[in-house]
Structure 1
Amino acid sequence: MANLNVYSVLVVLFLTWLVVIAKEENDQIIKENNFETKMDLPCVLEAFTAIFKTGSISNKCCSELVVLGKVCHSALVKRTLENPLFKDLNPATIIAKSIETWNNCLALIDSPSSSA
């Protein structure tokens, strides 16, 4: 029985360590690349609404999001999900909306009509 308790404690410590490392990694990516200042505030709000609430993102803001890059986009979404204010949100749903928003913006920017 003592082995089970030690094992349980080790598993909890390992999982806690992984969460801390992931959070630090997202923060490090964001800080090193100065990602928080590379989008205009109205576009940040549009992207946030499209991902975390219900809304759409304009062509202009899609362009800014794509220039920001997928690594930054993912890091910012993951860091937002770590915020206790968003603890009631379903992470799988938010990640799916994040991927959908990214893919839609990427397709919009890559389409021939967007450069006209």
Structure 2
Amino acid sequence: MAGFGSYSYLIAFFLLSEIVILSPVLAGHNLEQVVPLPPLPASTHNFLEQCAAKLQTGCADQLVASLFGAGTVSLACCLNLATFGRPCYDEFLVVTLPYHKEVDAAKVIAKSEKVWNDCATVKPSA
């Protein structure tokens, strides 16, 4: 089972990614306009804790950059996604998408499918 450190890292990652991505958006808005989302259910927290143990630090950053921006996913990150697994990958998107009101959800979901499918074809070098 993942320790508290893994869980706290995942939460910290989500918060930091939001700061980096939302900073340009918030520059022209009052902070009062940002509506906090309701807390996640305990079962989701537990699942995310297990997922956090599988996701490498740099890969998490690359995923946010590629799904919500113009970033790319490295070969190492693609290989990490295989360990991360599709259920964790999908939950990653479900949890982070509501924080990105400025993006077109359909485009992000399409990007998500492309990233997953592209990474699924990557094989470790011998």
Report what 1:96 is aligned to. Answer: 110
Give structure 1 stretches of 5+ with no counterpart: 1-19
Give the alignment's Cα RMSD to 1 decimal: 2.0
Q: Percent identity?
A: 26
Letter in 1 for 2:93: V
Measured in 2, the distance between the counterparts of 1:64 and 1:30 equals: 21
Letter in 2 for 1:35: C
Alpha-carbon contact 1:49-1:56 (below 8 Å) kept: yes
Measured in 2, the distance between the counterparts of 1:64 and 1:28 equals: 24
Runs of 4+, deviation exceeding 6 Å: none
Measured in 1, the distance between the counterparts of 2:104 and 2:111 equals: 11
The structure number with the bigger radius of gyration is 1
Give structure 2 stretches of 5+ with no counterpart: 1-37
* 2:46 pairs with 1:31: yes
Alpha-carbon contact 1:30-1:72 (below 8 Å) kept: no
TM-score, with length taken from structure 2:
0.61
Shift in Å, 1:29? 4.5
Report what 1:115 is aligned to. Answer: 125
Query: Structure 1 residues 97, 30: closer, same or farther in 2, change over 3 A?
Result: farther
Report what 1:67 is aligned to. Answer: 83
Alpha-carbon contact 1:66-1:102 (below 8 Å) kept: no
Instruction: Decide which of 41, 53, 62 is 2:57's aligned counterpart.
Output: 41
